[in-house]
Amino acid sequence: MIIKVKNLVKRYGDLIALDHLSLSVNEGEVFGLLGPNGSGKTTAINCILSLLSYDKGEIEIFGQPMTPDAYNIKRDIGIVMQNVAVYNELTVYENIDYFCGLYVQDKKLRKKLVDEAIDFVGLGDFIKFYPKKLSGGLLRRLNIACGIAHKPKLIILDEPTVAVDPQSRNKILEGILELNRQGATVIYTSHYMEEIEQICSRIMIIDKGKAIATGTKDELKAMISMGEKITVETYSLSEEQLSRLRKLPNIASAVYKNQTLEIKSNKGQNNLETILDFIKREGIQFGKIYSEMPTLNDVFLEITGKELRD
Amino acid sequence: MQVFKLCLKVLKKNIPTMLIYIVVFLVVSLIMSSALSKEMQADTLFAQKKSNMAFISEESSPLIDGLKQELSKVANFVELPDEKEALQDALYFRSVSYILRIPEGFTESFMKGENVRLKKTTVPNSYSNTYIDLSINKYLNNARLYVRHIENISQESLVQHLKSDLSVNTSVELKNKSDKVGKHIYANYFFNYMSYSLLSVLILGMTALMLVFYNNDLRRRNACSPLSARSINLQFILASLLFTVITWMIMVAFCILYNWKNSFNLNTVYFMINSLVFAFCGASISFLIGNLVKSANAISAVTNVVTLGLCFISGVFVPLELLGDSVLKVASFTPTYWFVTGNNRIAKLAQFNHSDIEPVLSCMLIQLGFALAFFAVALVINKKRRFQ
Ligand SMILES: Nc1ncnc2c1ncn2[C@@H]1O[C@H](COP(=O)(O)OP(=O)(O)OP(=O)(O)O)[C@@H](O)[C@H]1O
Ligand SMILES: [Mg+2]
């Protein structure tokens, strides 16, 4: 087990930022920490890294208790902070070299690692730039390069893709998966469920400092009663038709608004077929019709009663 | 030594702002040095000033020739036509400041022992005229003595006597306590003023460095690395000390360059030690300010307030003698005051016995005390900030 956290409690005055949070991360996985703003993701990461003192709990990394002076543990961790932490006085290259140099003394090896990191985030054209001259997205990429250049066993990324355009974001996500394939264990926090779904092999959803669900994305989706979500675009639907629809088996809810019919079905087989039959039978004219599997947002919504996104 | 190198790079980035202070300092001290060296020449050389006078005699006699010769020691003679208007003009335009007229029959009456008078016209309030008056009085009084006591003395022998009497001259020498002391006026000024620039540059550099170094995000990021907090702090301190010493060296080097002739003596060594101690004190003050100031914008404001404030009340710009007692009392709670006092004492050092050095050493010790005190306070604040 790479990381083991037991009953972690962190208070900021009256605010309980982490409420008996427990988690474990296995070797080789990409572990996702998903939660809305202020749910305690960064606080959890900072406690795990011993950057913050906490009120209660136990933290082990690589099987050893984590403390502020556990330098042997720190040597094998790469960290990409939520707040970009680079030196404005150093160029892109110098920044990566500096942070890599905190872990790797050997100059030749370091040069190789730094060059690889630059390739990895695609900053080759900007090595002489100072951070102030970089766009927000490029700056994020520099932040990532600084964190992973030394090829650590465990990589922790705290919302690394904020303000990064979709194309670069995909590149970064692919890169993270590549690092994972090369053997690194990854912890990835985000409030974008798409990202988390895309790369994480195991996910923990947290809210208000509490873990509310953990598992693979399929396991998570299996936890909730909702089956699929079916959307029908139609110009006319009478109240009677709507109430007849609601009486069909396995229908959890049906709402008609703005010429769109949204149906949520419970778990079960042939839900879409039932509805298509109904539409044919009633002679309802429709434009588009599509069905979606539940998302992590639906999971979050069903467990907490609110949307993941604000 | 990653952190050490990082610190140096950050400092290097801030050289332009610091350079402004250094250049201003060097220019001011250059101006000061040339002004002072002129002043010093004027002060140390004593010469009786000769004033211009017109000597108009309506008769000619050995006695009068003797007087004229005597007066040539204190005055330059200007030939003027004996016309009222020309004389008045000459006085008015100051081409002469003294006009002496010897009336006809003066010699005869004088030799008889009668009371006779010379006529003088002068520019008012000219002190050099006093010399002329004195010379004339001395000459005539002596002559009168001879005339009274030696019957029928001839004019020739009278003049002879007077000449030998009056040639007994008092040589006047302006005595400085020691001529060595004057030599250190420049170094004294330079080092006093250096406290201002040194403080400014140190505070600018150190605060800029600390803003970066103690930035919360960056500090956290560094804390994630396997580098121990102790090693990080040690490298930071090392870089700060190097910066302090280099800044000090640059300034001292210029003092020696400007003041080459007077630089190779023990006084300079003590000036250097005193300023090095002060530099450490300045570094410590900067460290404290760096712990208090949290924005780059505040840096230059704080730098100016602190440096100007400290330097004004401590006799850097205004000599200590001119400051009021209450100011001095407040000033004695500042390291700059002890630095300046130390410099002033060093400038007066002519001997280097234990008892001569002691007051200087005590100034340095007090500065060291300040340095430690500031450093300790900074550490406390630093610790508080880290655990917030
Ligand atoms: N230094 C602090 N002092 C007081 N409260 C804090 C502090 N840092 C965080 N908090 C609070 O703790 C809670 C958790 O914050 P945290 O930064 O861990 O959230 P997060 O999940 O990382 O959010 P985001 O997605 O916005 O990064 C929030 O309510 C926040 O206001
Ligand atoms: Mg966060």
CB contact under 8 A, B218 and A98: no
The residue out of A200, A221, A242 marking a domain boundary is A221
Is residue A306 domain-resident? no
| A262 and A200 belong to one structural domain | no
The band of B178, judged by pLDDT with boundaries at 50, 70 and 90, is very low
The tens digit of pLDDT for each residue in A185-224 reads: 999 999 888 889 899 999 999 999 999 989 998 888 888 8
Q: Output the CA B383–ligand 2 centroid distance in Å.
A: 25
Name, in order, each residue with C-beta under 8 angstroms of A257's C-beta and a sequence gap of 6 or more. none
The pLDDT, as a whole number, for residue A72 is 93
Return the structure tokens found at A121: 């985030």
Is A27 inside a domain boundary? yes
Residues A284 and A150 in one domain: no
A125 with A99, same domain?
Answer: yes
Note whether residue A259 is domain-resident: yes
- The pick from A10, A12, A81, A190 for probing ligand 1's pocket by mutation, whose C-beta has the most ligand atoms within 8 angstroms, reads A12
Q: Is the pLDDT of residue A2 over 90?
A: yes
Does the reported pTM lie above 0.80? no
- Judge whether residue A289 has pLDDT over 60: yes
DSSP H helical ranges for chain B: 2-13, 15-44, 62-71, 84-92, 106-111, 127-149, 155-166, 179-183, 185-213, 216-223, 229-258, 266-292, 296-313, 325-331, 335-348, 354-386
Q: What residues in A contact B224, CB-CB < 8 Å?
A: 49, 51, 74, 77, 79
Contact across the interface for A72 and B226, Cβ inside 8 Å: yes
Nearest to B212 among A72, A87, A94 (CB): A87
Note whether A216 and A275 are same-domain residues.
no
Residues A58 and A148 in one domain: yes
Arithmetic mean of pLDDT, A109-113 = 96
- Identify whether A130 is part of a domain: yes
A131 and A246 co-located in one domain: no
**Subunit contact A87:B229, Cβ cutoff 8 A:** no
Q: Is the pLDDT of residue B368 over 60?
A: yes
**Residue A307 within any structural domain of the chain:** no
Same domain, A261 and A243: yes
Inter-chain CB pairs, A–B, below 8 Å = 57
Residues A172 and A126 reside in one and the same domain: yes
Structural domain that includes position A81: 3-221
Summarize the confidence of residues B268-290 as an average pLDDT: 94
Domain containing A254 — which CATH number? 3.30.70.100
Task: Tell me the pLDDT tens digit for each residue of A14-38.
Answer: 999 999 999 999 999 999 999 999 9
Is the CB of B85 inside 8 Å of chain A's CB atoms?
Answer: no
Report the CATH number that the domain containing residue A60 is assigned in CATH: 3.40.50.300
Mutate to test the pocket of ligand 1, among A8, A16, A39 (most ligand atoms within 8 A of CB): A39
Domain boundary among A193, A221, A249: A221
Residue A7 pLDDT > 90: yes
The answer to whether residue A248 sits within a structural domain is: yes
Section A99-107 average pLDDT: 94
Q: Per-residue pLDDT averaged across A145-151, rounded? A: 95
The domain total for chain A is 2
Backbone phi and psi for residue B265, each to the nearest 5 degrees, phi listed first = -155, 175
Closest ligand, as measured to the CA of A11? 1
Strand, coil or helix: A9: strand
Asked whether residue A214 falls in the same domain as residue A236, the answer is no
Domains (range + CATH), chain B: 2-43+178-387 (no CATH), 51-166 (3.40.1710.10)
Are A18 and A160 part of one and the same domain? yes
Give me the pLDDT at residue B177, please: 46
Question: Are A90 and A137 found together in one domain?
Answer: yes
Mean of the pLDDT values across residues B64-79?
86
Q: What burial letters (b/e) apply to B114-125, b meaning 16+ CB within 10 Å?
A: eebeeeebbbee
pLDDT at position B341, please?
Answer: 94
Q: In terms of domains, do A28 and A150 share one?
A: yes
Model pLDDT for residues A40-95, shown as the tens digit of each residue: 999 999 999 999 999 999 999 999 999 998 999 999 999 999 999 999 999 999 99
- pLDDT at position B241 is 95
Using the atom order of ligand 1, give the atom closest to the CA of residue A191: 25
Domain-embedded: residue A143:
yes
